[in-house]
Amino acid sequence: MSSYFSSQHSQPAAAQRRTSLPRLSLEEHDRPQPTAHHVLPSLSYAAAVGVPHENPFNHNLFLQQQVFADKSNRLLSLIQNTKGLLDEIRETNATKPWQTYYPSLQIPTTAAAGATSSAAGNPLRRSNSFHPEDDTDRSSSLPLQQRLQRSFTSAPASPQHAHAPVEANSTAQVGRLIPELNVLKLDLKVGNYATGNDALLRGLERNTIAHLLDGRIQQSVKHLDNLYQRVSDKSSKVLITGDLNAGKSTLVNALMQRTILPIDQQPCTSLFCEVLDAQENEGQEAVHAIKEPSAYNREDPNTFTVVDMRHLEKFMNDVIDGYEDYAQLKVYCTDRRLVNDSLLHNGVVDIALIDSPGLNRDSVKTTALFARQQEIDVVVFVVSAENHFTLSGKEFLWNAANEKTHIFIVVNRFDSIRDKERCKRVILDQIKQLSAKTYEDADELVHFVSAGSCLPEVIQGGDLPADFLRLEECLRSFVLEKRCKSKLAPAKVYLENILSDVSILSESNRQMAAEELAKVRMELERGEPQYQETLVRREMVLEKVDRLAEETCTLIDTMTREKLTNSVDDIENSVSALVPWNGLLHIWQYANDVRYVMADLFVDRVKNCEVEAREKAKMCVNDINSLAEDASPASQSDALSLFTKPDPARISTGKLKDELALDFVDVFEVQDKLGMASVSLGAVTMFSSKALGYKSMIHSLFDITNTVGVSNVRKWFVPVVTAAGLGLLVYIAADMKHALARKTARKLRAHIREGTVVHDEAMRIAKDCRRVFKSNAWEIQNRFQKEIEAHEKRRAEQERAAKDGEQAVVYFGKVFEKADELARWVAAVEVEVEDRKIKA
Ligand SMILES: Nc1nc2c(ncn2[C@@H]2O[C@H](COP(=O)(O)OP(=O)(O)OP(=O)(O)O)[C@@H](O)[C@H]2O)c(=O)[nH]1
């Protein structure tokens, strides 16, 4: 049973044969001329016939193939460049501070809408029309950029123009009509039809939308990869189907000019046999029998069985008889003709012919399903001229007509018809009913031939009949045309759509960036005078604060010095009322009390000076604060809390008290001046040795004797001494209290005059005040500093934003230009497009 299986298995494939096409360069010298496509040869068969050539059919075909190859290459380059542009956008989104934001549709204000309408007709309708056919203004041949800009409200076109004064929140939002995106449109309405898409988008964070948009761009890049594969795939599959025994296998053999498939009057094809170029199998002729077509991999021998080509007929019969269970055959064979004549491999399109089982009730559905596959570019329906269309055939054609609008029809076995004209008429009538479009192009799509008469063994080296040559040429031409539609058209439409989307995105983003830039520049311009004014104000205020503080400190210093210096008289007067006099016997106690009270009073005067200084300082602080408040409103601090608390210890009360201590000589200083001081002193010394001590007493007596002489002394001594002593006692008793105060006050005065106490206190108080003012000035300085720093920070951010904005405007402008240029190139690739809404 397995005798027809070959032991030869295909070798694993070497490297991919497909070579990469040259990239489209955006350099000036590489740019195609806009009219380049107009000089390319026409696809018209009639025009080609007029070209003098050995074989006009082949010459025309050659031209068609060249045109197709050119279009494919241009589209491939454009796909690559568009992909590069999308990659660049994605990379910029990830690395640069400016992202491509999704444009949200703005409702135009009446004025803006009116202005736009009057200027450019109906803006809403235009905004959705980027395809040349849809744009009624196409006659003006405006480039996409201008058309787009007319769809948007006017915005600065360059960073320089962004200087135009723009009021914040005004131009950015008014009247912008953003054309709807096509392939990059974010549709969030899944499961939520109550809320509009724009409303949903507005509800999302800008970054979330940017992320979603990035996902769409990523999908688009993938789809471009698929399109690239599809366009660069040169193989085209032609399904040959028809009624049983219509001569399908014979037609394949005639087209191949080789006996490859078995021919039999009995139904002999029960599986799909794909005849393809041996170069697809590294030049090796072979037959691969496949059980599971979807799993087939030419490089994996486990997915097929190799059948010896010589035993193909036996193998197929075994399949029909149920001995073998296979679904598909791949027949790799060499087309021995020249490249230009070759059907399978002609350098532009590799055609694979797929012979299918004859149509009957069982197979019609399977075949119709097979025909719907994307890889099937052309369906050739073979009908027997003798039998016309059977029910199964009609059923298939009805099905296929829905999918493939044009069907290529071969009416075979025409040699066995005697009344050929009648046969033609009847069959064309039937075709008219089945496929109106095929009937319209019947001249090229319906062929009456006798494939049996075109087999190599019948021709035996002779020429093929003209009708068969024409069938062959039309078939190739039809394949090319279908390929244009099935492979180039989707690529072209998708490129148009994605480039239009990129243009819309970049233009709307450029406008947004320009508006932001204008706004930032305006803020910068507005902020600069404020900044300069703050700097000047700071200098002025701080200078005033310094002056005010210094003046107040000087005033306080002078005031303190004066008050303390002049305080002694007042202290002296106050002391008698404050210290009780308890008699001579308590004289030392009194003297001590006086000096203590005087010292305390002096401390009180110092405190008073402090209080006054505080008041002055307070007034000064208030003045400073009001200055600062005018200059830089902020919370005022209580700088006065920095005043040192009055502390008697700080003015050395204890030391002062010591300084004011009196001795006995100080007490009688006033009697010395009267000349009687020594007498009184001597008397007192005698009466009060307790008070003066013996040493002083003897000294006094010696003084008295020297003064009046020894005899007189003896005579007058007692009465005089008694009288003087009494008088002295009275005098002392009466004046002692004041004398002590005077003396202490004198000491205090001397202490003030000769010492540093007044200077120290004045300095201390002024220093305290100065510290308060310094603290206040520091705080004001701080406030200004914060204000200036905030301003500088804001300015740095604005400058950065302006720089980003400038770059963004340039960047989006460049993206737009690139997209526009690519779109013009795409438009220049002429491909008949039936549906511009072809998407991913
Ligand atoms: N007279 C005449 N007979 C032909 C012609 N072409 C094919 N035949 C004969 O028609 C019969 C069927 O040919 P096939 O090529 O096997 O037909 P098929 O459509 O492949 O058959 P199935 O695959 O079984 O459906 C054979 O006997 C051929 O010799 C033709 O142009 N003229």
179 in ligand 1 pocket by Cβ < 6 Å? no
Cα–Cα distances (Å) from 421 to 146, 417, 426, 428, in that order, read 59, 9, 9, 10
Backbone dihedral region for residue 169 (phi beyond 0: left; psi -120 to 50: alpha; all else: beta)? left
- Would you say residue 816 has pLDDT above 70? yes
Is 660 among the domain residues?
no
How many helices (H) and strands (E) in the chain? 27, 9
Average pLDDT on 350-358 reads: 86
Question: Which residues on adjacent β-strands are paired with residue 350?
Answer: 235
Name the more confident of 505 and 15: 505
C-alpha 472 to ligand 1 mean position (Å):
18
What was the pLDDT predicted at 197? 58
Instruction: Provide the pLDDT confidence category of residue 815 given band limits of 50, 70 and 90.
Output: very high
C-alpha 263 to ligand 1 mean position (Å):
6
393 in ligand 1 pocket by Cβ < 6 Å? no
Backbone dihedral region for residue 461 (phi beyond 0: left; psi -120 to 50: alpha; all else: beta)? left
What was the pLDDT predicted at 630? 63
C-alpha 330 to ligand 1 mean position (Å):
21
Contact 538, 788 (CB under 8 A): yes
Q: In what order do the strands lie in the sheet with 350-355?
A: 305-307, 286-290, 328-333, 272-277, 350-355, 235-242, 376-384, 408-412, 446-448
C-alpha 543/C-alpha 540 separation (Å) is 5
Name the more confident of 287 and 650: 287
C-alpha 241 to ligand 1 mean position (Å):
12
Residue nearest atom 16 of ligand 1, based on CA coordinates: 263
Residue nearest atom 23 of ligand 1, based on CA coordinates: 269
The atom of ligand 1 lying closest to the CA of 252 is 15
452 in ligand 1 pocket by Cβ < 6 Å? yes
C-alpha 458 to ligand 1 mean position (Å):
14
250 in ligand 1 pocket by Cβ < 6 Å? yes
For the chain, percent of residues with pLDDT exceeding 90: 21
C-alpha 393 to ligand 1 mean position (Å):
16
Instruction: Provide the pLDDT confidence category of residue 26 given band limits of 50, 70 and 90.
Output: very low
Is-above-0.80 flag for pTM? no
Residue nearest atom 32 of ligand 1, based on CA coordinates: 413
CATH of the domain at 241: 3.40.50.300
Average pLDDT on 89-109 reads: 71
What was the pLDDT predicted at 500? 92
How many whole angstroms from its chain centre is CA 3? Answer: 69
Is 722 among the domain residues?
no
What was the pLDDT predicted at 798? 92
C-alpha 473/C-alpha 408 separation (Å) is 12
What was the pLDDT predicted at 687? 43
Is 776 among the domain residues?
no
C-alpha 251 to ligand 1 mean position (Å):
8
What was the pLDDT predicted at 325? 84
**Burial (Cβ within 10 Å: 0-12, 13-18, ≥19) of residue 371:** buried
Average pLDDT on 608-620 reads: 88
C-alpha 293 to ligand 1 mean position (Å):
26
The atom of ligand 1 lying closest to the CA of 266 is 24
263 in ligand 1 pocket by Cβ < 6 Å? yes
Buried b (16+ CB within 10 A) or exposed e, 141-151: eeebbebbbbb
The atom of ligand 1 lying closest to the CA of 267 is 24
Q: What are phi and psi for residue 566, nearest 5 degrees?
A: -90, 5
Instruction: Provide the pLDDT confidence category of residue 700 given band limits of 50, 70 and 90.
Output: low
C-alpha 450 to ligand 1 mean position (Å):
10
What was the pLDDT predicted at 395? 83
363 in ligand 1 pocket by Cβ < 6 Å? no
Q: What are the DSSP calls for 796-832, one per residue?
A: HHHHHHHHHHHHHHHHHHHHHHHHHHHHHHHHHS---
C-alpha 813/C-alpha 158 separation (Å) is 8
What was the pLDDT predicted at 283? 85
Instruction: Provide the pLDDT confidence category of residue 57 given band limits of 50, 70 and 90.
Output: low
Name the more confident of 238 and 264: 238
Question: Which residues on adjacent β-strands are paired with residue 241?
Answer: 381
Q: Which contacts (CB < 8 Å, 24+ apart) does range 547-553 have?
A: 548/620, 548/623, 548/624, 548/627, 548/773, 549/620, 549/624, 549/769, 549/770, 549/773, 549/774, 549/776, 549/777, 552/616, 552/617, 552/619, 552/620, 552/769, 552/773, 553/766, 553/769, 553/770, 553/773
What was the pLDDT predicted at 664? 62
Domain, as residue range, for 397 = 235-464
**Burial (Cβ within 10 Å: 0-12, 13-18, ≥19) of residue 386:** middle
Name the more confident of 726 and 224: 224
C-alpha 18 to ligand 1 mean position (Å):
37
Residue nearest atom 27 of ligand 1, based on CA coordinates: 265
Tally of structural domains, the chain: 1
Average pLDDT on 447-470 reads: 89
455 in ligand 1 pocket by Cβ < 6 Å? no
Per residue in 703-725, pLDDT (tens digit) is 555 555 556 656 666 777 677 77
The pick from 240, 244, 245 for probing ligand 1's pocket by mutation, whose C-beta has the most ligand atoms within 8 angstroms, reads: 245
- Predicted ipTM of the assembly: 0.98
Is 570 among the domain residues?
no
Per residue in 118-149, pLDDT (tens digit) is 333 333 222 332 233 333 333 334 444 444 55
Name the more confident of 572 and 350: 572
C-alpha 338 to ligand 1 mean position (Å):
27
Name the more confident of 506 and 585: 506
267 in ligand 1 pocket by Cβ < 6 Å? yes
C-alpha 431 to ligand 1 mean position (Å):
21
700 in ligand 1 pocket by Cβ < 6 Å? no
Which residues are CB-contacts of 383 (< 8 A; sequence separation ≥ 6)? Answer: 242, 243, 246, 389, 393, 409, 410, 411, 412, 427
255 in ligand 1 pocket by Cβ < 6 Å? no
Contact 669, 739 (CB under 8 A): yes
Which residue is associated with the tokens 């001579």? Answer: 584
- Would you say residue 548 has pLDDT above 50? yes
The atom of ligand 1 lying closest to the CA of 270 is 23
What was the pLDDT predicted at 102? 78
458 in ligand 1 pocket by Cβ < 6 Å? no
C-alpha 775/C-alpha 784 separation (Å) is 14
268 in ligand 1 pocket by Cβ < 6 Å? yes
C-alpha 523/C-alpha 530 separation (Å) is 11
Average pLDDT on 208-220 reads: 86
Helix (H), strand (E) at residue 410 = strand 408-412
The atom of ligand 1 lying closest to the CA of 246 is 19
249 in ligand 1 pocket by Cβ < 6 Å? yes
358 in ligand 1 pocket by Cβ < 6 Å? yes
Helix (H), strand (E) at residue 408 = strand 408-412
The pick from 263, 355, 356, 449 for probing ligand 1's pocket by mutation, whose C-beta has the most ligand atoms within 8 angstroms, reads: 263
* N residues, the chain: 840
Contact 597, 570 (CB under 8 A): no
Name the more confident of 50 and 359: 359
Is 117 among the domain residues?
no
412 in ligand 1 pocket by Cβ < 6 Å? yes
What was the pLDDT predicted at 348? 63
The atom of ligand 1 lying closest to the CA of 449 is 31
Per residue in 411-431, pLDDT (tens digit) is 999 999 999 999 999 999 988
What was the pLDDT predicted at 123? 30
C-alpha 776 to ligand 1 mean position (Å):
113
451 in ligand 1 pocket by Cβ < 6 Å? yes
What was the pLDDT predicted at 813? 93
454 in ligand 1 pocket by Cβ < 6 Å? no
Residue nearest atom 4 of ligand 1, based on CA coordinates: 452
Is 441 among the domain residues?
yes
Q: Of 9-13, 342-346, 416-420, 683-687, which gets the smallest average pLDDT? A: 9-13
What was the pLDDT predicted at 658? 76
Per residue in 773-793, pLDDT (tens digit) is 888 888 888 888 998 999 999
447 in ligand 1 pocket by Cβ < 6 Å? no
